Every structure is written in structure tokens, then in C-alpha cells.
């Protein structure tokens, strides 16, 4: 992707330096190395736990524990609490915006092999003071949920979503739905959905250059953007 803003639901995987070194020390004292992983996506907790079990079977002597974030608590709050308690995780999944607050506690990953394979701009949010301190990835994506009954009626038969291959085709479908007397597009009114999953699309599409997007946001804050 050309821009860091192109990442949908950007998440960051980082390693805290203290628990990482502690895990290395444990390897010398016992046969089992414990790795703790903070999961900020409750929807995939069970899948990660299953993956951790498989990982353990394939890597005897390594115990991978998936630590969930409680409902209503941000990943940064969870990590901060664990760090204050002296039990910081080895790996953590969090939003890119939280990295600056943890930059002094994260390991330098600049020499990892995968760094050279990263697409342009994808490491921008992961790089602070010229050091790559996290690995970017996504577990979400944008999509359209459609009402089959409404579409079948609008198209006068069984609707085939695979038939829509272009933006023009999608626009034509919207027009058919509207002609049938139904609103063609409904946007979720929930604050978290509007702010985190919808409005950011309008922001990121201002340019494929991160600096230009940042400037747009600054102008927006100052009231210099004309939406007319």
C-alpha cells in the first residue's frame, strides 16, 4: 500500500525489552520459557489461544500465554497496569498511536529480517528516533454488509454480489435499491464506528502521501478546510 493511512484497523505488535530479557534469563534456569502476549482484540481471543496451544506443541519448552484486555480498558492502560505491577508482557498488540508512550520500553527491531520486506510507508508509525520498534499488521478490513432480501427485490430476482466488480456497478446497484423505495446506504450511528472506522477513510483518501494527510488534519483542526 502506498500510504500508512491505507492500513485498515492498524495494529502494532511490539516487544517490551524487560520481559524479553527476562524470558532469555529463564531459559538458562529452567527448561520452560514463558512468553506473554497482550491481545487487544477480544473477538479473536479463542483463536489466539488455539494458535498458542499449537505453537506450544510445535515448540516444546515454550509456554505462550494469551492475555486479554478487559472490556472497556484500552491496550495501553492494560500494559501500563501490568508494567506498574512488575509483570509486563513479552509481546503486545496495540494501536500505533500508543507507541510514543512506550518507546523507551520497547525493543529495537530494526535489524530483523522482515524490515527490508516491508512495503513503502508501512513502518512509518512503527519507527521512532530512526528505530523500528514494532511490526505492523491488520486483523480487520472494510466491507459492505448487504440485505439479501432488499437486493433480490431491487434486482427483480436472485442478487449475485459477484456480478458487481466496479465502482460504477456498485453505484448502479445503489440506484436500483433507491428506486425500489429503500435507502441504498445506511451508516452506523455508533460513535466508535463513525470516528474509528468511517471518518478516517475520508481523511486518509486526501492524499497518498502521509505528510499531506497530516497537513490536512492540521488544517482541519485550525478550521482552514473548506468542505463546500
Identify the pLDDT of residue 108: 93
CB atoms within 10 A of CB 122: 19
Q: Please, where are the H alpha helices in 63-189?
A: 75-84, 99-102, 148-155, 167-179
Identify the pLDDT of residue 204: 78
Q: Among candidates 27, 96, 39, which has minimal Cα distance to 65?
A: 39
Identify the pLDDT of residue 15: 62
Superfamily designation of domain 4-138: Periplasmic binding protein-like II (3.40.190.10)
Long-range contacts of 75-81 (CB under 8 A, 24+ apart): 75/38, 75/40, 76/101, 76/102, 78/38, 78/40, 79/16, 79/38
Here the cell at position 209 is 502521501
Tens of each residue's pLDDT in the chain, 228 residues:
434 333 333 456 666 543 333 333 344 455 789 999 999 888 889 999 999 999 999 999 999 999 998 877 888 888 888 889 988 899 988 888 888 888 888 999 999 999 999 988 889 888 999 999 999 887 777 778 899 999 999 999 999 999 999 999 999 999 999 999 999 988 888 887 787 777 777 887 888 787 888 898 899 899 998 876
Identify the pLDDT of residue 156: 92
Identify the pLDDT of residue 12: 60
Identify the pLDDT of residue 20: 36
Domain chopping of the chain, boundaries: 4-138, 148-179, 191-221
Can you give the pTM of this predicted structure?
Answer: 0.62
Identify the pLDDT of residue 22: 34
Count, residues in the chain: 228
Cα(158)–Cα(148) distance, integer angstroms: 8
pLDDT tens-digit profile of 12-31? 666 654 333 333 334 445 57
Identify the pLDDT of residue 194: 81
Identify the pLDDT of residue 5: 36
Distance linking the first and last C-alpha atoms of the chain: 29
Amino acid at each position: 500500500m502506498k500510504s500508512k493511512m491505507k492500513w485498515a484497523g492498524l495494529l502494532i505488535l511490539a516487544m517490551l525489552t524487560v520481559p524479553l530479557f527476562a524470558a532469555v534469563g529463564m531459559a538458562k534456569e529452567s527448561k520452560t520459557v514463558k512468553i506473554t502476549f497482550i491481545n487487544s482484540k477480544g473477538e479473536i481471543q479463542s483463536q489466539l489461544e488455539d494458535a498458542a496451544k499449537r505453537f506450544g506443541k510445535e515448540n516444546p519448552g515454550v509456554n505462550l500465554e494469551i492475555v486479554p484486555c478487559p472490556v472497556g480498558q484500552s491496550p495501553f492502560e492494560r500494559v501500563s497496569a501490568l508494567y506498574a505491577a512488575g509483570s509486563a508482557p513479552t509481546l503486545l498488540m496495540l494501536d500505533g498511536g500508543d507507541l510514543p508512550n512506550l518507546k523507551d520500553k520497547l525493543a529495537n527491531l530494526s535489524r530483523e529480517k522482515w524490515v527490508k520486506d516491508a512495503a513503502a510507508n508501512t513502518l512509518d508509525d512503527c519507527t521512532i528516533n530512526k528505530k523500528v520498534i514494532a511490526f505492523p499488521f491488520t486483523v480487520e478490513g472494510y466491507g459492505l454488509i448487504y440485505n439479501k432480501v432488499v437486493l433480490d427485490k431491487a434486482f427483480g430476482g436472485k442478487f449475485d454480489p459477484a456480478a458487481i466488480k466496479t465502482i460504477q456497478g456498485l453505484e448502479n446497484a445503489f440506484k436500483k435499491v433507491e428506486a425500489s423505495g429503500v435507502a441504498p446506504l445506511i451508516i452506523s450511528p455508533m460513535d466508535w464506528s463513525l470516528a474509528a472506522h468511517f471518518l478516517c477513510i475520508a481523511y486518509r483518501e486526501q492524499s497518498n502521501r502521509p505528510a499531506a494527510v497530516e497537513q490536512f488534519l492540521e488544517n482541519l483542526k485550525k478550521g482552514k478546510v473548506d468542505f463546500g
